[in-house]
Amino acid sequence: MRLFLVAWLFLFSLHAVGAETLECGTSSLEGPQFKWCIQTPEHPNGDVLWYLHGAFHSERTWSEHKINKGIRAEWEKMGAGAPTVISISFGTLWFLQAENGLYPYYRDTIRPFLEGKLTFRPFFGRRLLMGYSMGGFNASQLLLRDGALFSRVVLESPAIVTASPFSPAEIRAYYDRNQPYISKLKAGGYFELLKSRFVSPENWALYNPLLLVQAGIPRGTEVYVSTGRSDEFGFHEGAELFASTASSQGGRVTWQSLEGGHGAHDPHAIALFLGAPSAW
């Protein structure tokens, strides 16, 4: 046991100190072109965090967005190191689907390709996942289909709705329930986007997170879900229902309802959740 600890400390010390680096690029492998960034912290802890951005953001959102800068600042305060972060983008608006090829492309090609670029990932490191807004919807797809790949998953203001984009009656009731803070312009635009990308009620049912989560989440995966109570898209009730359903199925879920609108966040809670070691 002592020999193992000595070896662990030696390997970690080789990478414990150094300047933070950001490497970005554009690749086209066996599918559409995509952009990516790998941010290696000054003090890597061996974990790898996959970050999925929100609508109209980019692969650089992790390094540039104030929310994420706050999370990194919390890790610095904790002094326990931080994960290496990989972020990807297929443009401003995209969903991981089988029909458009992006879901299998990520799973089978992109993930191993970018993880192969990492200079240091010890065998004891964890794979983590975080998605914001549209990225939270995409992260829910990975959680519910390949969740065993990830030790911990953060769904931050996930774009999860409780109405079908193909049901005008459900959408009207959705607007009524989420008064007075709902923005029909924003929420309506999102429903139209879902309708255009998922093409039919049957196809939407294959990807609706609130239906998929009824089968539960992987036993070894812990999930943190948070949303602002006044989310102008109405995502709060969908996120809360997602968290409660996953919990009722025996999932290890942390739910945080926050003051504020879309993008309300608690960087300390997220940093602590992602930084704390899993219960093995």
CA atoms within 13 A on the CB side of 278: 19
Residue 11 belongs to a domain: no
Whole-number average pLDDT of the chain: 91
- 93 inside domain: yes
Query: Residue 187 domain-assigned?
Result: no
Structural domain contains residue 115: yes
Rounded to an integer, what distance in angstroms lies between the CA atom of residue 251 and that of residue 12?
32
Distance CA 189, CA 165 (A): 10
pLDDT in tens, 194-206: 999 999 999 999 9
55, part of any domain: yes
Structural domain of 28: 21-162+206-275
Q: Give the pLDDT band of residue 16 (cuts 50, 70, 90).
A: very low
Give the Å distances, CA to CA, from 127 to 24, 55, 162, 166: 20, 24, 30, 36
- Residue 105 belongs to some domain of the structure: yes
Write the CATH number for 210: 3.40.50.1820
Q: How many domains does the chain have?
A: 1
Given its phi and psi angles, is residue 226 left (phi above 0), alpha (psi -120 to 50 degrees) or beta?
beta
Query: Cα separation of 160 and 239, whole Å?
Result: 6
Cis, bond preceding 41 (omega within 30 deg of 0): no
Residue pLDDT, tens place only, 44-95: 999 999 999 999 999 999 999 888 999 999 999 998 789 999 999 999 999 9
Q: Which range, 42-51, 124-133, 237-246, has the best average confidence (pLDDT)? A: 237-246
Token readout for 28 is 């086209």
Read off the pLDDT of residues 169-222 as tens digits, 9 standing for 90 and up.
999 999 999 999 999 999 999 999 999 999 999 999 999 999 999 999 998 899
**pTM (whole model) above 0.85:** yes
Asked whether residue 173 is assigned to any structural domain, the reply reads: no
Residue 8 lies in a domain: no
